[in-house]
Amino acid sequence: MGNVITIIGLGPGDPGLLSLAAAEALGQGNLWLRTEVHPVVDWIREKGICFQTFDHVYREAEDFQQVYRIIADQVITLAREKDIVYAVPGHPLVAEESVELMLESAAGEGTEVRIIPGMSFLDSLLAAMQISPSTGLHVVDGLRLDRQFPDTTASTVVTQAYSRLVLSEIKLSLMEYYPDHHPVTVVTAAGVPGQENVRRCPLYELDRVAGVNHLTSIFIPPLEASGRSTGCRFPLDPLVEVMARLRGRGGCPWDREQDHSTLRQYLLEEAYETVDAIDRQDMYNICEELGDLLLQIVFHARIASEDGNFDINEVVAKITEKMIRRHPHVFGDVKVENSDDVLVNWAAIKEREKGVRKEGILEGILDGIPEFLPSLMRAQKIQAAAAKVGFDWPGYEGALEKLYEELTEMIEAIKSGSGVQKEDEMGDVLFSAVNLSRLLKIDAEVALSGAVNKFRQRFGHIEEKATKAGRGLDKCTLQQMDLWWEESKKAKKV
């Protein structure tokens, strides 16, 4: 048989809480402690038990993750020579990363590992707080709040709160999830006689708490327990966490290289793909494309958060507040008769929100319409904006006459005009057609998209017929293709 690694939990700090099995195992010899900075270590010395520690690793490694990796590797190496006893504070399987790494490596080498449990710091903390974990308890590492996130629906315990500097970082991270005045409890040396210290304060004062050390943890009650009605965990959190991991250290190189500008094309592509799925009424694909579009929003919010500008919670909060503000007929006492009244109110509220002045002059009616929009969509928005101040045809008849007029001018340009003139007149024809569509309450973008899809379907029929006839389209006459085209139109009507 191979050598054995015995892992012992030293408990929260009171030697009286050591199990009999743990006390006996400590005297077996070849004892290594993760750290001697623990109250039980004085008792071990008093008993005359010899030991060595890994405290030197803390001074040599770059961060805690490297510390735990080095310790785990060294214990595995020592165990290749003879049995080893490795002791850690608390319970070996509660927030003890060195043990997690050790178990993975030992399994790969076929090394036997025995675990002697100890009372964890959580047991003593719950006793100090006099609360039950039955309603839910979430544990996160205070040094990893960029990858581990509190659950606002349950009680949360934050570990590794060993200095005021760390408390400051933890406070800033927690303020993304909790209000500034949310109550928190700082617990130091829970269960250690004469050393236990429990202090309560609002979250914004967390980094002002003195006397913290390696035995300090933070207890945070769920939001609903503090009287807030919005205590649910954000449904976006899993996606936000994935994006944080992709953008974080050790994440995806491509994701880490992106910025708002480089992502612009993907945002547009996902929006168009979503519209395409809607046009096809493909519910499965609509769901998938909405997810892709949402990813882009979360991506941009993450980049903004890293730059200290805003995060996804602010995005959600702002649009929620805007929707409530722009629907006073639902959330206020404004009365409306129909959807036209709703649009009038919406436009008026939007104008009040702008309040934008450029060198003392009010922003123009059309200035707020983005130039990067597709021309068809931009034309509709510009025409609608002008119509709001009365610059419009009284009915579709005038727009129809204008379209005839532009078509006549287009014909004249074709006969005698230059390329530039023909392009100019074609633009007028298209703009007039969009205006007619608007007055007929038809979305020109949707109408044109439908026409394009209809053309694709009918042309596909021609290709199918040519294939069945054993001919390429270049070998078919225009007359034959016209016959198949008409055949496709009749088939569609049936």
Domains of the chain and CATH, by start: 4-119 (3.40.1010.10), 123-226 (3.30.950.10), 237-310 (1.10.287.1080), 375-442 (1.10.287.1080), 447-493 (no CATH)
Q: Supply φ then ψ for residue 184, to 5 degrees.
A: -135, 160
Q: Report, as an integer, the average pLDDT of 272-296.
A: 91
Q: Whose structure tokens read 């379907």?
A: 457
CB 485 within 8 A of CB 464: no
Mean pLDDT of 184-213: 91
User: Which of 43-57, 462-476, 480-494 is predicted least confidently?
Assistant: 480-494
pLDDT digit string, tens, across residues 153-171: 889 999 989 899 999 999 9
Task: Identify the pLDDT of residue 101.
Answer: 92
* pTM confidence score: 0.47
pLDDT of residue 172: 92
Burial of residue 44 (number of CB atoms within 10 Å: 0-12, 13-18, 19+): buried
Say how far residue 39 (Cα) sits from the centre of its chain. Answer: 41
Of the chain, the percentage scoring pLDDT greater than 90 comes to 37
Q: Where are the beta strands (DSSP E) in 176-261?
A: 183-188, 197-202, 216-220
Mean pLDDT of 392-411: 90
Residue 344's pLDDT is what?
78
CB within 8 Å of 139: residues ≥ 6 apart: 94, 95, 122, 156, 157, 159
Residue appearing with tokens 């006397």: 211
pLDDT digit string, tens, across residues 119-157:
888 888 888 888 888 878 889 988 888 778 888 888 999
Average pLDDT, the chain: 86
By CB atoms closer than 10 A (0-12, 13-18, 19+), residue 10 is buried
Sort residue 89 into left (φ over 0), alpha (ψ -120 to 50) or beta: beta
Of 335, 299, 331, the closest CA to residue 315 belongs to 299
Q: 11-15, 350-354, 356-360: which range is least confident on average?
A: 356-360
- Overall average pLDDT of the 21-43 stretch: 92
Other CB atoms within 10 A of residue 196 CB: 19
